[in-house]
Amino acid sequence: MDNKTLIARRVAQELKPGNLVNLGIGLPTLVASLVPREAYIFFQSENGIIGMQSVPEEGLEADDLTDAGGSPISALPGAATFDSAMSFGLIRGGHLDVTVLGGLQVDRMGRLANWSIPGSMVPGMGGAMDLVTGAKRVIVAMTHTAKGEPKIVEVCTLPITSERRVDLIVTELAVLEPSPDGLVLRELAPGVDVETVLRSTAARLIVPDQVRTMNLG
Which residue from 48, 103, 110, 178 is in contact with another protein, where contact means CB under 8 A? Answer: 48
Considering only 24, 103, 110, 134, the residue that binds another protein (CB under 8 A) is 134
Candidates 3, 53, 76, 92: give the one binding another protein (CB under 8 A): 92
Number of neighbouring beta carbons within 10 Å of residue 60: 10
Cβ atoms 185, 156 nearer than 8 A: no
The Cα–Cα gap between 32 and 92 comes to 22
Which residues, other chains included, contact 62 with Cβ-Cβ below 8 Å and sequence gap of 6+? 72
Tell me the helices (H) and strands (E) count for the chain, helix number first: 5, 16
177 is catalytic: no
Least distance between another protein and beta carbon 165 (Å): 12
| 64 touches another protein (CB under 8 A) | yes
Which of 18, 40, 54, 69: binder of another protein (CB under 8 A)?
Answer: 69
If one asks whether residue 75 binds another protein (CB under 8 A), the answer comes out as yes
Measured between its terminal Cα atoms, the distance across the chain in Å is 13
Q: Among all residues, which ones are annotated catalytic? A: 46
Binding residues for another protein, per CB under 8 A?
45-49, 62-70, 75, 81-85, 87-89, 91-92, 116, 121-130, 133-134, 159-163
